[in-house]
Structure 1
Amino acid sequence: MNQSRDADLSRSLRTDGGVLHALVLDDNRETRNWICETLQSTLPGAMISTASTCAEAVTALFHSDTRFDFALIDLDLPDGHGIDIIRAITRDLPETLPVVITIFEDDASLFDALAAGAMGYILKGVKAASLADQFRRIAAGEPPISPRIAQRMIAHFQAQAKALRPAEVPGQPDVALTQREQEVLRLLGKGFTGTDIAATLGITPNTCASHTKSIYRKLNISSRAEAALAASRRGLI
């Protein structure tokens, strides 16, 4: 979301008792009327303007004397995309909060809208009471987010956080090694060569090499330096 609007979200839209002005942009007449009726019953006295196309929205927003407190914007419109309107509002009308109201709940629609500056994302198809709750949040200066959208956002950022976690640490101490492998790792950590290790433990060089290969595979390491670090982490040296 646009950080420049954070201050607007920390307070109600109107602190002076003034009339709220809202724009409803939706190309479906029945849906548009339903939104307006719910908005009017939830926020009595609010002045509501409507638009069914991007062109009508631009006229209302930029070529009229009305200062809109917020705009409820559908995404899929006959002459363009609601995200274009959101970008224009974010760029040129910092006093107006753009809020998406749509049937689309896919990640592309959601995050494209938020990146464009949307300050909320409401899904259609909910009961009037749920929609009214979201409108009250807008009036209180709180970001209106439908529950399913909130879940998608959480899942998205959890996946991002998981992807950013550091890779498995080489030489992790919880991987089980046999007693002989621990002995070999201890000597590797001390800088012994394969021949020295074989002589010290009374095993053949081939057996020593086999143990070393197994240690490297189990601990996800590939050098003597990593072997020394692994031995140190395990308290072998």
Structure 2
Amino acid sequence: MESVIVDGGLVLKHRADGHLELRANGIFVMDTRETSTEKALATRALELHAQPQHVLIGGLGLGFTLEAVLADPRVEAVTVVEIEPRLVEWMRAGRIPHGPALLADERVRVEVADVAVVLRESSPEAYDVVLLDVDNGPGYLVHDANGALYEAPALADARRATAPGGTVVVWSAAEAPALLEVMAQVFDDAEALSYPVDLQGHEETYWLYAGTVTHGNGTN
């Protein structure tokens, strides 16, 4: 039997198939059936770094990116930035079953804020890895204001907040060549990585866009 928790534009559905589904403003965000790319968002970035001690995650979702980050013993501190306070409360309260243990990890600090603002106000080179999964990508925004996050000024803020040798990775539900073009301008190197997924019986392709920081001080 399905059950639904609704708070404003945020919906957490316990589906009849046993999986959880998260929607925001009527838009499907993710479910617990297909989580491979949320995990790949973390593992791909972490494997590119020799010592990823400090990680920032933009977007809590259902916690699978955070779970993958915490599985890496090299990680010493994780800042999770989530704009929806109710989602953080649901996670802490166990409405998302694995949530309490994830957020109780002593390495985790949660900020209820706009990740674009946090990155803009971060100290230079504060993080080794920055992971952004706040929408379904630049073509499928959960909040219209998030569009600026995929443009050069916000990506430059992300670069400035990332130490040399680090990576900024953006998750997208669809191919986004314009995003890759902007990231190639902002970062020292940029690449698009495609991942085939089974989304509720339909074959889809999700994408990760990775920008590498080789040089500090925002220079290419």
TM-score by length of 2: 0.30
Higher relative strand content: 2
Larger Cα Rg: Structure 1 or Structure 2? Answer: 1
